[in-house]
Amino acid sequence: MSIIYGKRIRLRAVEREDVQKFHAWVNDPEVTRGLMLYLPMSMRDETDWFDGLAKRDPNQRPLAIEVHKGKAWKLIGNCGVFDIEMTNRSAELGIMIGDKAEWNKGYGSEAMTLLLRHGFETLNLNRIALRVYSENVRAVRSYEKAGFILEGRLRQAVYKHGTYDDVLLMSVLRSEWDSRNKEK
């Protein structure tokens, strides 16, 4: 797969040099608050994760999210398509904007839009879904902006930071994607 370009960001293959930043981000409680991670990760854990990527289906390998800053690109997070079901033409998406200095700038919505385009127009998927904690209001707004629609709620499905939280199920169908892009 080649690099996927958006207006302000690009999605590229994850490289070994990215692992150190990923390690810092997955050990930052503010970053992981909205993720399904709850234990510290060692550098060895992160390196083993990276080494295992080569064994994955290329369509399900994570992508680095970079922002164009002047003449250079700055790594701010990662995202990807996973749990692809070819029979049903469905998959899930995940994202982490780890660089907190780049939060609240719309990069998450743009990355999700690029992933949706990739999923529908390259992978020929029909349904793309995600799961998000209900307390992660910023992420929910970002996903809605990208076109995701709430389709369900798993009540008190996760225990994190001493409380139970609902998990929201959101998705976009190919017909909704096509309709939305014809309007633009």
Model pLDDT for residues 88-141, shown as the tens digit of each residue: 999 999 999 999 999 999 999 999 999 999 999 999 999 999 999 999 999 999
| Average of per-residue pLDDT across 25-53 | 92
Q: Which two tokens stand for residue 141?
A: 């707004």
Q: Tell me the whole-structure pTM to 2 decimals.
A: 0.94
Beta strand residue intervals within 3-148, DSSP E? 4-5, 9-13, 63-69, 72-85, 90-97, 127-133
Torsion, Cα 183 8 18 60, to 10 degrees, reads 10
Domains and their CATH numbers in the chain: 4-183 (3.40.630.30)
Strands 4-5 and 163-173: unpaired
